Amino acid sequence: MPEIQVFNTLGREKQAFTPRTPGRVTMYSCGPTVYKYSHIGNFRSYLMSDFWVRALQYLGLEVEQARNITDVGHLVDDTSDSGEDKVLAAARAEGKSPEEIAQFYTDAFHADAALLRMRPPDHEPRATEFVPQMIELIQALEAKGYTYTCDGNVFFDVQKKRDYPKLSGNTLDQLQAGFRIEPDPRKHHPADFALWKAGEERRLQVWDSPWGPGFPGWHIECSAMSLHYFPDGFDIHTGGVDNIFPHHEDEIAQSDSAEGRQMVKYWIHGEFLQLGGLKMAKSTGNIIRVSELEEMGFDPLAFRYLYLEAKYRTPLSFSEDVLAAAQRGLDTLRARASRLAPAVAPESAEATALEGRFAAALADDLDLPQAAALVHETIRANIAEGERRALLERWDSVLQLDLFRAVDDAAVEIPSAILDLARQRDTARAARDFGEADRLRGAMEEAGFAVEDTPDGTRLVPRRG
């Protein structure tokens, strides 16, 4: 297998990937905060992690993944440790308990993840189940002199961590100058962050602690949960670019300070999905749920297919037209793949070369556009159909596009005018008038049909969307 290259946010460069234990990869992925529905913008980050897990498995590595559920402690403004807890705010707004809110939106997240054929993680801890471990971690930081306490709140003193901030490319001076609101007077530095928050009067979720009743900060949650499953450290931490600061920056400060060593080797971050040039956000209502894609007439896997059109570190634009084009492309692939002869072991030099190129694309920092291009190339490749099918079956273990689902186009009536264009195109091709043939292809595609060349002439595949 080719050498795996990963773009590591810690260092901001592509690096050779070497797991701590040969042949085995440990990964922690930031999961949803379950106070509202996760939208397809959120799922771009979750899908990135899913593709990475499947790609590493394809490349011969065993992967153990933990992905958390945040059901407490994520405030409206985590940068300044202010505002309401998002789960509690949703509970009040919907007239439910925090536990009911968290369970409802966790179930919705699982349902949407299943529609996208995402692999369930090996571990899925909930923050509320790990409060004792969070308290122990805070106590460890306290014993090492990294914290201070004020009015029942425990803060991490970033000036005690010499290399803070090391992930985001900021400096302490830049952070101090960049705060646009009045700094919390209780903090030694505006970038100091809460490890434990004192419980306000009438707060619904409060735990006893050495510092009084309260609740954990968002950042300490992921440190405690990841170190529970991977106490010796782990290879990869994934999330969206919006997690880099402050969340992941603060995770590094906590975990490394408590353990006295670097706990995560590679930090992988995915870019935003953009709707109308703006990132999708629950706070603005600028969202679409995965399950709503079906209501719009699309296969949710068309969104997974759309993901293949851009590298994970590149912003991806979304619109209904863009998704419709992805749906048409996926339908065309399925129509061709489902008609291939049964799989046989790929033994030809050409098939071996294609498989090597697919592995190389995955190993090159998860180059999914190149992997998708190879799918299209292989469907048309001049090798035995059974070999083509075998390759595509293996590759679909990573892509999860359900490539061999038959597309029911027989029930769709093709207008006589379109059939006439197909006959004209066959005549043009027979006369080697390829310019006219291309013009007619464009007219049929514009009318909503994929055009395939077969020994029996032009074949039309109705497109959805």
User: Is the domain of 200 the same as that of 318?
Assistant: no
Residues 364-421: tens digit of each pLDDT: 999 999 999 999 999 989 999 999 999 999 999 999 999 998 765 544 567 888 888 9
Under the phi-then-psi rule, with left for phi > 0, alpha for psi from -120 to 50, and beta for the rest, what region is 116? alpha
Query: Among 249, 270, 291, where does a domain finish?
Result: 270
Higher local confidence (pLDDT), 453 or 221: 221
With respect to residue 408, please indicate whether it lies within any of the assigned structural domains.
Answer: no
Assess if residue 407 is contained within a domain: no
Q: Which pLDDT belongs to residue 411?
A: 43
Phi and psi torsions of 456, nearest 5°? -95, 10
pLDDT, greater one: 81 or 29: 29
Average pLDDT over residues 204-218: 93
Shared domain check, 424 and 395: no
Residue 372 lies in a domain: yes
The per-residue pLDDT for range 343-354, each reduced to its tens digit, is 999 999 999 999
pLDDT, residue 178, reads: 56
Predicted confidence at residue 456, as pLDDT, reads 64
Q: What DSSP assignment string belongs to 138-194?
A: HHHHHHTT-EEEETTEEEE-GGGSTT-S-SSS--HHHHHHH--SPPPTT-SSTT-EE
Q: Token pair for residue 317?
A: 């634009």
Residue 423's pLDDT is 87
- Whether residue 22 lies inside any domain: the answer is yes
Query: How big is the CA angle at 121 (ends 235 and 327), to the nearest 5 degrees?
Result: 105
What is the rounded distance in angstroms from the CA atom of residue 140 to the CA atom of residue 146?
Answer: 9
User: Is residue 36 over pLDDT 90?
Assistant: yes
Instruction: Point out which residues pair with 361 in neighbouring strands.
Output: none
Name the more confident of 410 and 436. 436
Give yes or no for a contact between 27 and 230, defined as CB atoms under 8 angstroms apart.
no
- 208 lies in the same domain as 284: no
What is the DSSP pairing of strand 5-8 with strand 13-16?
antiparallel
pLDDT of residue 109: 97
Q: Residue 98 has which token pair?
A: 């925090």
Instruction: Kindly indicate the confidence band of residue 465, based on its pLDDT and cuts at 50, 70 and 90.
Output: very low
Per-residue model confidence (pLDDT) at position 416: 82
Is 200 part of any domain? Answer: yes
**Residue 352 and residue 359 in contact, taking contact as beta carbons nearer than 8 Å:** no
CA distance linking residue 234 with residue 262, whole number of Å: 9
404 falls within a domain: no
Closest CA to 401 of 321, 319, 337, 325: 337
What is the share, in percent, of the chain residues with pLDDT greater than 90?
Answer: 71
The pTM of the whole model exceeds 0.95: no
Specify whether 112 is located in the same domain as 208.
Answer: yes
Give 172's pLDDT tier (boundaries 50, 70, 90).
Answer: confident
Per-residue tokens: 398: 């990573």
* Tally of domains in the chain: 3
Average pLDDT over residues 133-154: 97
pLDDT for res 410 = 47
Residue 83's pLDDT band (cuts 50, 70, 90): confident
* pLDDT band, residue 78 (cuts 50/70/90): low
Kindly state the tokens that stand for 66.
């933990």
CATH of the domain at 173: 3.40.50.620
CB 120 within 8 A of CB 112: no
Distances (CA, A) of 419 to 91, 230, 457: 57, 61, 12
Domain that holds residue 438: 416-462
Please report the pLDDT score of residue 413 as a whole number: 63
The DSSP annotation for 317-333 comes to EE-HHHHHHHHHHHHHH
- pLDDT, tens only, 289-314: 999 999 999 999 999 999 999 999 99
Q: Is residue 357 part of a domain?
A: yes
Q: Tens digits of per-residue pLDDT, 248-278? A: 999 999 999 999 999 999 999 999 998 876 7
The pLDDT of residue 28 is above 50: yes
Domain identity same for 298 and 393: yes
Whether residue 115 sits in one domain with residue 246: yes
pLDDT of 283 reads 58
Q: What mean pLDDT comes out for the span 165-187?
A: 79
Cα pseudo-dihedral 384, 389, 394, 397, rounded to 10: 160
Clarify whether residues 37 and 106 are in a common domain.
Answer: yes
Domain-ending residue, one of 219, 240, 270: 270
| Dist. CA 368–CA 9, nearest whole Å | 19
